[in-house]
A and B are shown apart, each in its own frame.
Chain A
């Protein structure tokens, strides 16, 4: 068993669903479309899919339940109408005459999947814990329309402290995938680790320094 909050499961059906997979750009780099207001009974709020938000998507491989753990590293707003010089049917204050264009506006998220955890259902109560955590490149792909959920604090902690020690083994892959904001998304994770896992703060400091220095050097601030 990995270190998990005994009271809270790593993942549960209470986790807020953020959106669905619409495209993948590489083995670990996915595009997720955020549910809009009318898609869900409990649509996600902006804070639920902020930059650096840990997420997961469950999948079943050969009868075993896995959760692929990822992080929001980018976002893009898409408006199909933008630049289109189409007819206007009514004024903005007469909404009921406007056809369904509004719903085609999308919020797309870049999600980097960092690793996988094998799930084990709780014997008492709902939810599952992480039985094993693997921070190597995920071996399986998700499918289009797979749901992506917000990862709980307990799940975030369980993923990063698989054997009690801090693990950020995906760091180099994340930086390479997130490209422009590689440093920032790493810093966001470090920041969350510092808030939600109070141990090993000094190790986090050393890593943060490294990330900041590398970013400043790569971007030409330092030589």
Chain B
């Protein structure tokens, strides 16, 4: 548990270059915006580190930020000094009078990011490389903190402190994501299993629920990974989450409490629920559905079945009977309820996070539920924005864990509405966060619409390829880092950042709920709990003589 969040920077006036000069520019690199620096062997410049050089642009001296993309040894001890792993190569070097290991030099490649243009509030490429022989300094901590995120520090809009710049000591360069940008342009958290994607998403949710933001958030949680969020209300973290009367509301909805109102479905949803209906059935159902919807917003399976019988003009009612069987099979379950959902504020409200635990629903049911709810919320937001309805007169953010379930590269009931929200939601204040470990299984349109990306370790080449194709801001320099990231390290990129950065995600305030099952421990305790008679080892099938058929063959 860490203390209160650090204060965000107050302005962008800090000097760009620190006092630490790390190297000297040797020559331009292969690409137009690359250059090579010679760095003494005892200075460590890792990839992703930010350095500053001075150049002239528009008649002014400018401090230009550049990102280290590669480091290789320019001069070092020869391999023959390393012939015996038991011998310290510096002992050999010392014996032969070769200058010590520290006298090696490295060649570091850096890529220009740009100088920070205070008027534009972003980086401008000076289109001029540093002169050979000019000095390169480490970028100043305070400068990086202020200019890396695409944030307006003067406004009072909410900021999410997600962690620190990797390569610098923890806490040296705090990274604050502007929540407005994240919510408006949508978010993708992409990472392979175990690298901390739901942890990172939880960090973001915590930040959104802090008093400075008081967001209205809905989480679709297929694995029950977010049910520790109520800890935000505990006294231990009151300093972070409470302010006057405000305290975040956390509403974890258990699987058995979740229902889908039949009137909230569309005809397409209904068809998807039915087993291969014939054309006649479709016709009858459509008529019945249209009639019922016109009449009331409480539609149960009985009403639907009765209406089908009414509509079916066949004497024998064969079609309606067949439909009845299919409808009852599909809808006559606890998941579907008669009455349409009127009040949406139990689901979403400012300063409230609702976690829908979907872990006992089948995948099609999860998709159906998401489709119905998202459609309903989206319509409410549309109406609120047009001034027709004020039920949801505040923006929304919804997070979809296992996003590839809801927006797969294929068919799903929820895909259409998600595409709509992702492309149009910005206008209506409806932000979406997609969390997924399989970017290649995500719908490409959905992925490309997520303007802010938090990308963590990804080994799978297909997934890397999907990110390469869909995520505009992810340059090769960033993507090359993906396989080497360790859990808790992430690339922050996209609309919320002025340039992609490598980050270390901060510790959560609330405990993490998505640990892997401790299998051996569970087996042991499970074994202890079993009836002793079942734990005898080998069971003798013929022990009970009555069961044995002794009839001669």
Binding site for B on A (CB under 8 A): 135, 165-172, 200, 202-203, 205-207, 209-210, 213
Measured in the bound complex, the distance between the Cα atoms of B84 and A135 in whole Å is 26
The verdict on B59 contacting chain A, using a C-beta distance below 8 Å, is no
Residues of A within 8 A of B91 (CB): 165-166, 200, 203
Contact B92 A207 (CB under 8 A): yes
Contact with A along B81-108 (1 / 0, CB 8 A): 1011011000110111100000000000
Closest 5 CB pairs of A and B: A169-B97, A166-B95, A210-B80, A202-B87, A206-B83
* CB<8 Å pairs between A and B, sample of 20: A165-B94, A167-B95, A169-B95, A169-B96, A169-B97, A171-B96, A171-B97, A172-B96, A200-B95, A202-B84, A202-B87, A205-B87, A206-B80, A206-B83, A206-B84, A206-B87, A206-B92, A207-B95, A207-B96, A210-B92
Binding site for A on B (CB under 8 A): 80-81, 83-84, 86-87, 91-92, 94-97
Residues of B within 8 A of A206 (CB): 80-81, 83-84, 87, 92
Residues of B within 8 A of A207 (CB): 92, 95-96
Task: Tell me which of B83, B86, B94, B97 contacts A210 (CB under 8 A).
Answer: B83
Closest A residue, CB atoms, query B80: A210
Residues of A within 8 A of B80 (CB): 206, 209-210, 213
Task: Tell me which of A169, A170, A203 contacts B92 (CB under 8 A).
Answer: A203
Residues of A within 8 A of B97 (CB): 135, 167-172
Q: For the complex formed, measure the closest distance between the CB of B545 and the CB atoms of chain A, giving whole angstroms.
A: 75
Measured in the bound complex, the distance between the Cα atoms of B83 and A168 in whole Å is 18
Most buried by B among A200, A202, A213: A202
Closest A residue, CB atoms, query B91: A203
Measured in the bound complex, the distance between the Cα atoms of B80 and A63 in whole Å is 44
Q: For the complex formed, measure the closest distance between the CB of A53 and the CB atoms of chain B, giving whole angstroms.
A: 21
Residues of A within 8 A of B94 (CB): 165-167
Most buried by B among A169, A203, A205, A213: A203
Q: Report if A209-B83 is in contact (Cβ < 8 Å); known contacts: A165-B94, A165-B95, A167-B97.
A: yes
Closest B residue, CB atoms, query A167: B95
Q: For the complex formed, measure the closest distance between the CB of B229 and the CB atoms of chain A, giving whole angstroms.
A: 59
Contact B96 A168 (CB under 8 A): yes
Q: For the complex formed, measure the closest distance between the CB of B91 and the CB atoms of chain A, giving whole angstroms.
A: 5
Contact B87 A203 (CB under 8 A): yes
Contact B95 A205 (CB under 8 A): no
List 20 additional A-B contacts (Cβ < 8 Å) besides A167-B95, A200-B91, A210-B81. Answer: A165-B95, A167-B94, A168-B95, A168-B96, A168-B97, A169-B95, A169-B96, A170-B97, A171-B97, A200-B95, A202-B87, A203-B87, A203-B95, A206-B80, A206-B87, A206-B92, A207-B92, A209-B83, A210-B80, A210-B92
Measured in the bound complex, the distance between the Cα atoms of B418 and A38 in whole Å is 109
Measured in the bound complex, the distance between the Cα atoms of B84 and A165 in whole Å is 18
Q: For the complex formed, measure the closest distance between the CB of B79 and the CB atoms of chain A, giving whole angstroms.
A: 10
Measured in the bound complex, the distance between the Cα atoms of B87 and A63 in whole Å is 42
Measured in the bound complex, the distance between the Cα atoms of B94 and A171 in whole Å is 12
Specify the main secondary structure of chain A where it touches its partner.
helix
Residues of B within 8 A of A202 (CB): 84, 86-87
Residues of B within 8 A of A172 (CB): 96-97
Measured in the bound complex, the distance between the Cα atoms of B87 and A166 in whole Å is 13
Residues of B within 8 A of A168 (CB): 95-97
Q: For the complex formed, measure the closest distance between the CB of B90 and the CB atoms of chain A, giving whole angstroms.
A: 10
Closest B residue, CB atoms, query A170: B97
Closest B residue, CB atoms, query A210: B80
Residues of B within 8 A of A213 (CB): 80
Measured in the bound complex, the distance between the Cα atoms of B91 and A169 in whole Å is 12
Closest A residue, CB atoms, query B84: A206
Most buried by B among A172, A205, A206, A213: A206
Residues of B within 8 A of A165 (CB): 91, 94-95
Residues of B within 8 A of A203 (CB): 87, 91-92, 95
Measured in the bound complex, the distance between the Cα atoms of B455 and A112 in whole Å is 64
Measured in the bound complex, the distance between the Cα atoms of B83 and A200 in whole Å is 15
Q: For the complex formed, measure the closest distance between the CB of B96 and the CB atoms of chain A, giving whole angstroms.
A: 5
Most buried by B among A205, A207, A209, A213: A207
Residues of A within 8 A of B86 (CB): 202
Measured in the bound complex, the distance between the Cα atoms of B360 and A83 in whole Å is 110
Residues of B within 8 A of A167 (CB): 94-95, 97
Residues of A within 8 A of B84 (CB): 202, 205-206
Residues of B within 8 A of A170 (CB): 97
Measured in the bound complex, the distance between the Cα atoms of B81 and A169 in whole Å is 15
Measured in the bound complex, the distance between the Cα atoms of B87 and A202 in whole Å is 6
Residues of B within 8 A of A166 (CB): 91, 94-95
Closest B residue, CB atoms, query A171: B96
Q: For the complex formed, measure the closest distance between the CB of B103 and the CB atoms of chain A, giving whole angstroms.
A: 14
Q: For the complex formed, measure the closest distance between the CB of A210 and the CB atoms of chain B, giving whole angstroms.
A: 5
Residues of A within 8 A of B87 (CB): 202-203, 205-206
Residues of A within 8 A of B81 (CB): 206, 210
Most buried by A among B86, B91, B95: B95
Measured in the bound complex, the distance between the Cα atoms of B94 and A135 in whole Å is 12
Measured in the bound complex, the distance between the Cα atoms of B422 and A217 in whole Å is 66
Residues of A within 8 A of B92 (CB): 203, 206-207, 210
Measured in the bound complex, the distance between the Cα atoms of B81 and A128 in whole Å is 36
Closest A residue, CB atoms, query B94: A165
Measured in the bound complex, the distance between the Cα atoms of B81 and A171 in whole Å is 14
Measured in the bound complex, the distance between the Cα atoms of B481 and A157 in whole Å is 52
Residues of B within 8 A of A200 (CB): 91, 95
Q: For the complex formed, measure the closest distance between the CB of B19 and the CB atoms of chain A, giving whole angstroms.
A: 36
Measured in the bound complex, the distance between the Cα atoms of B91 and A172 in whole Å is 17
Measured in the bound complex, the distance between the Cα atoms of B87 and A203 in whole Å is 6
Q: For the complex formed, measure the closest distance between the CB of A129 and the CB atoms of chain B, giving whole angstroms.
A: 22
Residues of A within 8 A of B95 (CB): 165-169, 200, 203, 207
Measured in the bound complex, the distance between the Cα atoms of B95 and A135 in whole Å is 11
Measured in the bound complex, the distance between the Cα atoms of B86 and A200 in whole Å is 11
Measured in the bound complex, the distance between the Cα atoms of B91 and A186 in whole Å is 18
Measured in the bound complex, the distance between the Cα atoms of B95 and A168 in whole Å is 5
Q: For the complex formed, measure the closest distance between the CB of A194 and the CB atoms of chain B, giving whole angstroms.
A: 13
